[in-house]
Structure 1
């Protein structure tokens, strides 16, 4: 039984004190010139200058070390394989093996780390500078047996990649390493993100944090991505609270590191996750390095750079494009960046150019802003619950007054979001509730929409109505949705009215759904997208000045309500199709998927069944033709010509719309995309 003293030593305060006592190497000038073998010799001699290994052995891999009883070894290896970002396995020893020839010549794992942690029954009981005494400690009844078989004969060593291995690369790329500048150990935090469990092993993800100037994020991401066995690219960039970290000054391991003006908090998966696994699994006896005191290997960090496995159908692309991530700002409140591969980015930009074509000659290209589609898709990829609204009563002289642009694009986005596991709600005008419910039911019956979705209305019953609609009990800290999308939705102009492109006020046919987008600006965690083709649509307020200057009747009709992202398209439906395709590209992008999953789980390949479902829920010519014919059966007309025909905005489905859909699918599924 663990004694009261040992239990006290297991406290977080005790552990943090041990980890923080090594505040950084002293007098690095001479040590920086030594190779790993020379440094290991000094460590073996207990040289007092080596307190942590941060900043040492530049250009070489460093390793976290975990030493476990043999009966747990297979499960722990599988646990590492399941969580490759925090636990990149460099080498697993044989039982009782003290050397690790594949990683370092003439090494002895019992002496070549400056400080070890010793655990009994899952509790940290002490730190030591050598494990040699454990090779002779009797643990079995027979003294004769004990003389030949100490506890070490039953122990297996695991060597795991360490982020110290890429700090030199960061400096070479011009990225400051703040913990080295400040002479401290790196900051390490326990997160609220659970690792994928295996056998007795389950624990939260631990991360390191390094502040990086915003302008150097891409450099930091690319450099570290090239070293996957040193944890690879970051798993989170932005607000620490999104990982469950609420006070950066209170590290769980290591030391706090001060941010400089313009710095962004960047988090990498950390091998100290393995220590958490020890604490949770409670083995009778276990050892690890002390956080910050790593094992120095003879392996150059460049030799560990191995490509992420690519599905065979990606051989049509230059693999180097797939490997290199790019970093994009997704949200200011909370601050969140996301990653995607150059190939995925190039393809989404290609989609954006296709939907920006203007066969109807409406002048929409004057409103184009690059990467609004990409940014919206990234934000939607991070979302859990999405509300979509559409409906423009362009045909106010007819019943129903709605047009054929909008609903098909909304349904295309909804079905892809559902396929990706998101919650989706449709928001509509009260006058059109029954008709839209019937359209959704028919879309589900025909397989155009993956499954039924809630259809709701919004009424302005007071100043807090929008907040109560968006958030549980009107509490901004408890939003129901994290993304709002408006596609071809009537947008409120500066004078409070709603105008079609001809300048006719249709306010009497429109519910004040704009209020939701306005209220969302004050709710952290809700991002908004507007999709339009004329500038009078909800969300196009982001481009209001361009609309006023460039579009017919712009000063009158321009929407005054902005969205975070404003996607412009020759026809708004095309924007919805492109969002669906962009989401597919992100979810089949290994770089983006790894970031979404924090490097946990077996994320390098998508199960074939899941991939087939995503592909089946892309828009297609047949599905979009069917939904357009369904709209016609309800009397919904083309907005520009008011014809009850297979057309949208005066453009016939064949060949115009069918050709756009075909080209979007070719880029998404087959074709080579140009450089981003």
Structure 2
């Protein structure tokens, strides 16, 4: 028999409480520890104990309230669990200037079952339950910081954006509590909720159990956490709406990567195209991805065979290797003319240890109006995308007139397949994000900054790519952008604040095995790896972009000391806090 109870206690913390038979106590204890965001365990009582002395001297679960079912105590065969509750941070939200809409509207908080499974422990398993509070976009970071600093009251949000991504179909129909109305400019923000425990207990059907009533708790909490771990929020996608989090210090480190790759030893004036945090946002999106398609290839040397340059493939392979180490599916999209060459490059990269595993190589032909849709989605169904992120690095981009130009204003359209169409089609497919990496403005994806390219870059009015990406990463050499993405992903892998958000606050007390950490480190680029892949390209007759030299150089810059120096400096940006 499961009995929800209203407690009328005067205590020092905002708590929810659950009373279970002693036979279930160990399993429930483990369930709480494995799912610490919804179930922050503050105290486990001894069997029959009616107080929680570490939390407050005067607390007593025996209540004079007529609504209480435990007036005589829980009995010697029952164990009480005291969990932190999000009601404890609502006063702090108001103090920080964040409106608390449920209080403004005189309503209980909205609570929803999700389709996100908690980590099972013994007999306990259930979906995560969340609370939702609408927050104005300009108050998101304040709300994140305030709640992050209260980890025993569920901590920072576990999701910001489209509720459907949690399996919630209608915000107007909460499973517990009342529907809270959003105001113009609000974003739905979701916190893990202690009602998850009610779901777990109900699924187990114990002979007898007690809980607080959802929305009725005991009084406010406080804890101080390392401010370096305070997350910042970043918009990752508009369709569907989705934000991600990373700690303030990790953000600073990724911005350092962005500064390094923005150096311009070739004096192309690339800084004019820079948009801050494009690297960060792309890395955050890739961290949440499951299947990534990467394309590269710029046949600038149209008079040679092969016509490709040494910028692009090394950066593409560096990103692919890091993504593989993270367990992502990776596909390389190439031109039909270059299939044999790129397959040989992939095979050699695997043999040399530059790639940990082979990756599929595919081509794209636009031979019907729905070719791009069928390529990107299973059976052409926009609800079933085959990839959730497309990345172009040093890939020829289509100009406004439909042609493809190198930096000398030479049209190389006859050497380029219409892979741009995939980026155009992706705009209308929910859940597919695009990134373009370039160093001149004529690369696929750099259409996001085409106005700057046309006005500020040499021959920009002709060569500027017209096709935008969601994120346009500019670098002194495009390969550097690929290296920085790999390093940025590693920083996110080792960022506790980001990993907590990525995992919805579930399963965080399990230590990451050393072999997994080593696998991530092995996914990073290195001077030796990049020298090896560049040597392979030169053996295959691939030339430096700016000079056309068949030599160990990229864009006219020799591998040593220029490129090797950049790689070394990127790798020196170490994680500020190893996770878990």
TM-score range relative to shorter protein: over 0.9
- 1:423 matched to 2:342: no
1:107, distance to aligned residue in structure 2 (A): 2.5
CA distance in 2, matches of 1:574, 1:107: 59
Alignment correspondent of 1:210: 133
- 1:156 matched to 2:76: no
| Cα distance change of structure 1 residues 375 and 306 upon mapping to structure 2, 3 Å threshold | closer
Greater gyration radius: 1
1:455, distance to aligned residue in structure 2 (A): 0.4
1:129, distance to aligned residue in structure 2 (A): 2.6
Alignment correspondent of 1:502: 408
Pick the aligned partner of 1:196 from 90, 105, 119: 119
1:407-486 pair list within 5 angstroms: 407-486=313-392
Pick the aligned partner of 2:165 from 242, 245, 250: 242
Pick the aligned partner of 2:438 from 532, 541, 545: 532
1:669, distance to aligned residue in structure 2 (A): 5.4
CA distance in 2, matches of 1:529, 1:577: 14
1:668, distance to aligned residue in structure 2 (A): 3.4
Aligned residue for 1:379, secondary structure, equals helix
Aligned residue for 1:668, secondary structure, equals coil
CA distance in 1, matches of 2:572, 2:534: 22
CA distance in 1, matches of 2:171, 2:13: 27
CA distance in 2, matches of 1:542, 1:553: 17
After superposition, give the CA deviation of every residue in 1:210-258 in whole Å (9 maximum; x if it has no partner). 0000000000000000000000000000000000001001111111000
Aligned residue for 2:76, secondary structure, equals helix
Instruction: Identify unmatched segments of 5+ residues in structure 1.
Output: 3-9, 23-35, 42-56, 116-127, 136-150, 308-319, 672-676
Alignment correspondent of 2:292: 386
Alignment correspondent of 2:268: 362
- Which moves more between the two structures, 79-88 or 599-608? 599-608
CA distance in 1, matches of 2:114, 2:135: 20
1:602, distance to aligned residue in structure 2 (A): 2.2
Alignment correspondent of 2:27: 75
What TM-score do the two structures reach when normalised by structure 2? 0.97
Preserved contact between residue 350 and residue 357 of structure 2 (Cα < 8 Å): yes
| Cα distance change of structure 1 residues 306 and 369 upon mapping to structure 2, 3 Å threshold | closer
Instruction: Identify unmatched segments of 5+ residues in structure 2.
Output: none
Preserved contact between residue 495 and residue 575 of structure 2 (Cα < 8 Å): no
Aligned residue for 2:114, secondary structure, equals strand
Aligned residue for 2:309, secondary structure, equals coil
Alignment correspondent of 2:69: 130
CA distance in 1, matches of 2:181, 2:32: 31
CA distance in 1, matches of 2:366, 2:189: 41
Runs of 4+ in 1 over 4 A off after TM superposition: none
Preserved contact between residue 390 and residue 423 of structure 2 (Cα < 8 Å): yes
Preserved contact between residue 194 and residue 204 of structure 1 (Cα < 8 Å): yes
CA distance in 1, matches of 2:112, 2:136: 20
Aligned residue for 1:661, secondary structure, equals helix
1:295, distance to aligned residue in structure 2 (A): 2.7
Alignment correspondent of 2:178: 255
CA distance in 1, matches of 2:62, 2:364: 67
Alignment correspondent of 2:457: 551
After superposition, give the CA deviation of every residue in 1:479-520 in whole Å (9 maximum; x if it has no partner). 000000000000000000000000000000000000000000
| Cα distance change of structure 1 residues 603 and 555 upon mapping to structure 2, 3 Å threshold | farther
After superposition, give the CA deviation of every residue in 1:119-164 in whole Å (9 maximum; x if it has no partner). xxxxxxxxx433226x5xxxxxxxxxxxxxxx71100000000000
- 1:301 matched to 2:240: no
Alignment correspondent of 1:50: none
Preserved contact between residue 503 and residue 553 of structure 1 (Cα < 8 Å): yes
Alignment correspondent of 1:292: 215
Aligned residue for 2:14, secondary structure, equals strand
CA distance in 1, matches of 2:511, 2:101: 35
Alignment correspondent of 1:674: none
